[in-house]
Structure 1
Amino acid sequence: MTTADAHAPAVSIRERYRDVVSDRWPVTVAPQADELVSSWLHRLAYANGVPPKAFVRVLGLNPGMWSAALDLRLPADIANLLYAKTGVAPDRLAAMTLSQDLPGQLLLPLRYNRDRDSSAWLQFCSRCLTEDAQPYFRRRWRLATRVSCTQHGCRLRDRCPSCHGCIAVFDQAGLVPQHYCVACGYDLRRAPVPYISPTTRTLDRCIDNICSLEAIAHSPFGPMLIRRLLSMPSAAGGYYSTMMLTGLSTAARTYCAERLSSRSEWPVDYATYDEKDRKARRLRHLIPPTSDHCAWIELLANALGRRRGRPVVSEGNEPGIKLLDLLGAYAGMRPGPGRRLVQELIGT
């Protein structure tokens, strides 16, 4: 060492350059609110210049619906690898899976086919994808009970409107963002927004708001509600009456929900003014606060059962509430855009 070297200032790597010389991947993407693990992995692969179909080899997994399978169960070794390469903690990754707070029986099955009436594994809202800075897919879009977007109130889609193919980003061999159809390249953000009636949207949100895994697991009426939700096509009647809810496409499930929530599908109420007044007072007595999930689970299970004359699950002698009355009460308790229209259509 020379005299000049001895007096030279010590050189150290600045904090902002540490990741450059670390084992992390060049680019890390931050998980978004309610994002699926699969969606995050697709964005991560794209950001690092690797197509999803090739990224599966980076994780040491088998091809196929590899990312969709990780939504259901994220192995510890994969979570640790992702943590080492991205800095996203395993508990944060676990929160992006479907095992946290969504009932497994109500999830759409892992399959994708061209039968328009059959279920696909994932749905999307084109408006959400349009507004996202980096389009991503939400966890609640995997629920079979979900047919509308919470943010925009429009009906969800489960197929590309151009080629009618299902979402299959895990099979994307090109370096293309995940909001483009793998089969035909259509930009899903451009998909037309299907209509859904206000009453059906109310039913959809009512089910979604009370059907958390924790609420159902702690309610004695949870198993019955799940069975009756899965049997909604039978309760609705019509073309899909022999099918299970999880086996139907978004359009078919919306058809069933429309029939369930449509006033024309119920007997005409010829009650007098006094009878309607007594009914209104009874409803005010029976309707619990929205925070009482257990009570709402019981009411919804009974209301779905009444649609086809099934026995109520309540232990008391109090008769159940009709589904339309329940939706009317729910709409009156939930503030937000369109509330007046919902109440008028339901008749409250």
Structure 2
Amino acid sequence: MTMSGGAMAPLLLPLRDSAHRNRSTWMQYCPLCLAADEAPYFRRQWRLASRVSCFAHGCGLRDRCPACRAGIATFDQGEFVPQHFCARCGFDLRAAPKASVKATARRLERAIADICMVESVKGSAKTSDAVSRVLRTPAAANIRSGRTLTNLSTAARVGCFEALAAKPLDWLVNDMDGADAYRRWMIVAAGGHEALIARFADFLEGHKGAPRSKRTPGMCADRSELFGAYLRVMHSDGARASAKGSCGSSTRHSKSVI
């Protein structure tokens, strides 16, 4: 309830009096997290529509009581009881069955979360762009509901992320300049910002002090290496074009002086 402002606010799941089967509810939860807590509590990140799985346990989040199918509304208790009990039927949410999410969808979900986190440090404008694109992911995934991500149930959002994971990521980088698009591609290709940093550190460690003659290229290059090579070529072409233009203008100037 403290996540009322900031650039990520548009991704908050809306509060509803009654939740239709295909509509979103106010709160999600991971049964394994609640079971592991000494005093079970709901995480703030579970309120984000962009979250469909638990990063700690690798399982899918749930947004309904498996016993009565009611939405989770911890504030609507008739009695003073622990919040991990369903407000409608009293079911212990810690006993909810484990939900599964494909690894490709969880990888994309983590990358999207990291992109929003990294860009929130750089400025709200970039964060707003990332958030707006995430909200429109149902259209990018060709889900015909015509709704934004915050209006879909957790099950529908899982399907959305699984569909997106099998598609090109044009929806995430269209109409962006090269540097920002490149950063997003790199984070997605690595499976998250921390994974990208770890890969970069391993690369530096593996090539530290190695003679150039012993560096033989592998038969296959991963996506991040291809993007890096492309970016270096583009920079070098631009630098040569700039130098050529500068040289030409200097020659013309010399001739005019003579």
Query: Could you tell me the TM-score, scaled by structure 1's length?
Result: 0.51
Q: Is the 8 A contact 1:101 1:213 kept in 2?
A: no
Change (3 A) 1:319 1:110: closer
SS in 1 for 2:191: helix
The partner residue of 2:191 within 316, 330, 333 is 330
**Residue 219 of structure 2 is aligned to residue 314 of structure 1:** no
Which consecutive residues of structure 1, in runs of 5 or more, have no partner in the other structure? 1-70, 72-96, 267-301, 336-346
The partner residue of 1:260 within 158, 164, 174 is 164
**Residue 126 of structure 2 is aligned to residue 229 of structure 1:** no
Question: Displacement of 1:99 after TM fit?
Answer: 4.3
Q: Is the 8 A contact 2:115 2:130 kept in 1?
A: no
Q: Which amino acid aligns with 1:190?
A: A
**Residue 16 of structure 2 is aligned to residue 111 of structure 1:** yes
Question: Displacement of 1:172 after TM fit?
Answer: 1.0
1:304 corresponds to which residue?
A: 171
Change (3 A) 1:330 1:109: same
SS in 2 for 1:156: coil
2:68 corresponds to which residue?
A: 163
1:187 corresponds to which residue?
A: 92
Change (3 A) 1:104 1:213: farther
Indicate the structure with greater helix content.
2
1:68-79 alignment, distance < 5 Å? 71=1
**Residue 143 of structure 2 is aligned to residue 238 of structure 1:** yes
Q: Which amino acid aligns with 2:24?
A: S
Change (3 A) 1:153 1:139: same
Q: Is the 8 A contact 1:165 1:183 kept in 2?
A: yes
Change (3 A) 1:321 1:237: farther
Change (3 A) 1:102 1:312: closer
In structure 2, distance between residues paired with 1:333 and 1:321: 10
1:1-348 alignment, distance < 5 Å? 71=1, 97-99=2-4, 103-212=8-117, 215=120, 218=123, 220-240=125-145, 242-262=146-166, 265=167, 303-305=170-172, 311-314=174-177, 327-330=188-191, 333=196
In structure 2, distance between residues paired with 1:194 and 1:188: 13
Question: Displacement of 1:326 after TM fit?
Answer: 5.6
Change (3 A) 1:321 1:101: closer
Change (3 A) 1:216 1:224: farther
Deviation per CA, 1:143-169: give whole Å up to 9, x if none. Answer: 011111121111101100111101122
Change (3 A) 1:172 1:154: same
Change (3 A) 1:237 1:154: same
Q: How many residues align?
A: 198
Change (3 A) 1:146 1:319: closer
Percent of residue pairs bearing the same amino acid type = 41
User: What RMSD in Å do the two structures reach over aligned CA positions?
Assistant: 2.9
